[in-house]
A and B are shown apart, each in its own frame.
Chain A
Amino acid sequence: MRFLVELFATLVIALALGLSTAWFMVSAPRIGTGVGAWKAVPAVSADTADPYTRARVARTGEIVLGAGEGLVFIAEADDDGRPLDGACDYRISGATPTARLWTLSMVDDAGGLPASVSGRTSLTSREVLRDAEGRFEIAVAATARSGNWLPSHSRGAEKAILRLYDTPLALSPDQNMRMPRIVRGTCR
């Protein structure tokens, strides 16, 4: 009797452990090079994708950028490690790694884009205004700002997604990449 109870408990623990860790690894990109607040999502190609990426793509139906197309970075927190929150304003400033084109957008937990008066949901390297040294400063806020303004959600958890197209880094992101800083401003 004792044996059966122990066997049952072991099976339950094994299942719970195996399934929960699998779900954790598959529910979002967990492996990737981190630089500051940003994490590079591993570039995906049919030959080289890791099993976790394969499972995540199959489960979410998400369209991923191919290894030859570019590289995606996700930031879920600011440079001080506080989770990005729609109730706060942020400044994203500095420079990005070399790329022919980049786009920046803010999404909520479900991947939804923010509604704003401008109807704009992203900012690209073609539109952004830079200083004499090529650096930019972007105001992320729910309401209009002067200069480079990226509309954000007015409340709730957010993620910043930076997509670099046609970048030499796509195959080998490294720790020395210059990524933009994310600094929290005022909160409502």
Chain B
Amino acid sequence: MMRTAVWLVGALLLGGIVHIATVFGVPHFAVNDPWREVGTLTGDGVFVRLPRAAPGVRTLSGLDPAMTHAACRFSLDNGPVRIRAEVADGYWSLALHDRRGMWVWGVDNRAAEQKPIDILIASHVQVAQLRESLPDEFEDVVIVDWPSQEGFALYKILVAAKSREAEVEAALATARCTPTPLP
């Protein structure tokens, strides 16, 4: 009896270790994390309009069906990435996610006061370089200090009514994400 109890306690402790190791291990072994999913729909360094969530349509999971989305997967290997986009009236949001799909930085229509989006994503090293000599063209650009080398941007705009769809699509189509090599 005592002997069985000891084995059971051992099983519980070992089970706890397996549990923790599994949970922490999943992000390293997952094959369809958001970054890869975005990669199946878009190429790197270009904004692609995502299919709108609708019955029977394959798109990224977790997208709000009331919004239209465009995504761009980026890498900072060839210099900081500049994101520019025109905005539409009403709600919109630009979110930057890291390699693991976690939200890092974002801006929405209230924070931006309906000004066009113009940001520069740079790694720690690139930010240091920019601090040393900021090219004139980046004077009014918001610089985002990026914790790693990769990530993706998701630009979403609310479609308040069917009649607004054309305007929203036009704004989405202006989104650009371009690697901008530093001099």
* Contact between chains at A113 and B54 (CB < 8 Å): yes
A61–B36 touching, CB < 8 Å: yes
Q: Is the CB of B110 within 8 A of A166?
A: yes
A59 on interface, CB distance cutoff 8 Å: yes
CB-defined contacts of B16 to chain A, threshold 8 Å: 18
- C-alpha spacing A115/B65, complex, angstroms: 12
The minimal Cβ–Cβ distance linking A102 to chain B, given in whole angstroms, is 9
Interface residues of A in 99-129 (CB under 8 A from B): 100-101, 103, 105, 111-115, 121-122, 124, 126-127
> What CA separation (Å) do A16 and B16 show in the bound complex?
11
Q: Is B14 an interface residue (CB 8 A)?
A: yes
B166 within 8 A of A: no
Task: Give B39-74 as 1s and 0s: 1 = Cβ < 8 Å from A's Cβ atoms.
Answer: 000000000000001111000111111110000000
Q: Is the interface of B mostly helix, strand, loop or mixed?
A: mixed
Do the beta carbons of A14 and B34 come within 8 Å of each other? Answer: no
> Are B23 and A22 in contact (CB-based, < 8 A)?
yes
Taking the complex as formed, is B37 at the interface, i.e. its CB lies under 8 A from any CB of chain A?
yes
- A26-B23, A58-B27, A124-B158 are contacts. A63–B34 as well, Cβ < 8 Å? yes
| A-facing residues in B85-122 (Cβ within 8 Å) | 90-91, 93, 95, 97-98, 100-106, 108, 110
Interface centre among B17, B23, B56, B161, by most chain A C-beta atoms within 10 angstroms, is: B23
Q: Which of A63-93 contact B (CB under 8 A)?
A: 63-69
A64-B62 contact, Cβ under 8 Å, with A6-B7, A17-B18, A21-B19: yes
Q: How far is the CA of A45 from the CA of B144 in the complex (A)?
A: 15
Q: Is the CB of B11 within 8 A of A68?
A: no
Smallest CB separation, A153 vs chain B (Å): 9
A134 within 8 Å of B by Cβ? no
Q: Within the complex, which residue of B65, B101, B106, B147 is in contact with A113, where a contact is CB–CB below 8 Å?
A: B65
Residues on the B chain within 8 Å of A39, using CB:
none
Cross-chain contact B106 with A103 (CB below 8 angstroms): no
The interface size bin for chain B is 35 or more
Q: Assuming A25-B23, A122-B66, is B61 touching A61 (CB within 8 A)?
A: yes
Q: Which residue of A lies closest to B14 (CB)?
A: A14
Cα of A52 to Cα of B18 in the assembled complex, Å: 14
Given A15-B18, A166-B110, verify A124-B55 contact (CB < 8 Å).
Answer: no
A46 and B26 in contact, given A17-B15, A18-B18, A21-B19 (Cβ under 8 angstroms): no
* Closest chain A CB from B51 CB (angstroms): 12
**Across the A-B interface, the 5 shortest Cβ-Cβ residue pairs:** A18-B18, A66-B103, A17-B15, A14-B14, A55-B26
Residue pairs across A and B with Cβ atoms less than 8 A apart, 28 shown, are A9-B11, A11-B11, A15-B18, A17-B12, A17-B18, A22-B22, A26-B26, A45-B104, A46-B147, A51-B23, A54-B102, A57-B100, A57-B101, A58-B30, A59-B32, A61-B61, A62-B62, A63-B62, A63-B63, A63-B154, A68-B103, A69-B103, A111-B61, A111-B62, A113-B54, A124-B66, A126-B90, A166-B110
